[in-house]
Amino acid sequence: MRIIAATKNKHKIEEIQAIAGEFGMDVVSRADAGVPDIEIEENGDTFEENSEKKAREIMELCGEITIADDSGLMVDALGGAPGVISARFAGEDGNDQKNNEKLLALLTDVAPEDRTARFVSVITMVYPDGRKIVARGECEGHMIYHPKGSNGFGYDPLFVPLGFDRTFAELSGAEKNQISHRAIALQNLRRKLMEAKYEK
């Protein structure tokens, strides 16, 4: 099953390809599929809204099954922030380092037991005939005080998943792909595909 990935984030595409390949899905980047390089405004209030918007806009351009992920970090002590603006937390000109620095500054006085958080991923698959499948995955954990590890991206150096003593950035790609929010969302997507008999 060939599927076009709506995201331009190469890290996300690599993770989706690694996981989806196990389910018989051939994930192709929008660049490799010849989809025009357009910017999609992520102005939804939820991960679900942004995920569907990205998938639908790219599907309308390429006419093929399209998959989109919208994901982010939700920190309990910050009322669920940064949430849907995780990638833009430090502003439109921000980057991973600036986002992490802002998050750490806001959590300076938060005790270890109150630094609970979760990564959330919502994956939407849309079909040219109008069908839609939505799958959500969450990975619980907590935030540490200083970055650790050089793997991964985004907030990975600050997030320790539940049951581990290492951050996402200290795990290997294979380890992370077993437990991550995106892995859980893709597993839920596969289950829904099988239930709906969409999987060939």
In a domain, 200, yes or no: no
3-class DSSP state of 26: strand
Assess if residue 116 is contained within a domain.
yes
CA distance 42 to 70: 9
Instruction: Evaluate whether 61 touches 36 at the Cβ level (below 8 Å).
Output: yes
What's the structural domain count of the chain? Answer: 1
CA angle 101, 94, 141 (to 5 degrees): 45
Q: Say which CATH number the domain at 70 has.
A: 3.90.950.10
The answer to whether residue 109 sits within a structural domain is yes
Residue reference for tokens 């569907």 = 52
In a domain, 66, yes or no: yes
Whole-model pTM above 0.85?
yes
How far apart, in Å, are the Cα atoms of 157 and each of 133, 134, 150, 200? 31, 28, 7, 38
70 flagged as catalytic: yes
Give yes or no for a contact between 160 and 171, defined as CB atoms under 8 angstroms apart: no
3-state secondary structure at position 119 = strand
> Per the domain annotation, does 46 fall within a domain?
yes
Q: Which of 26, 37, 69, 70 is catalytic?
A: 70
**Residue 58 resides in a domain:** yes
Residue 65 lies in a domain: yes
Q: Can you give the pLDDT of all 200 residues of the chain as single tens digits?
A: 889 999 888 888 888 888 778 777 889 999 888 898 888 888 999 999 999 999 999 999 999 999 999 999 999 999 999 999 999 999 988 899 999 999 999 999 999 999 999 999 999 999 999 999 999 999 999 999 999 999 989 999 999 999 999 999 999 988 998 999 999 998 898 888 878 764 45
Residue-number span of the structural domain to which 168 is assigned: 2-195
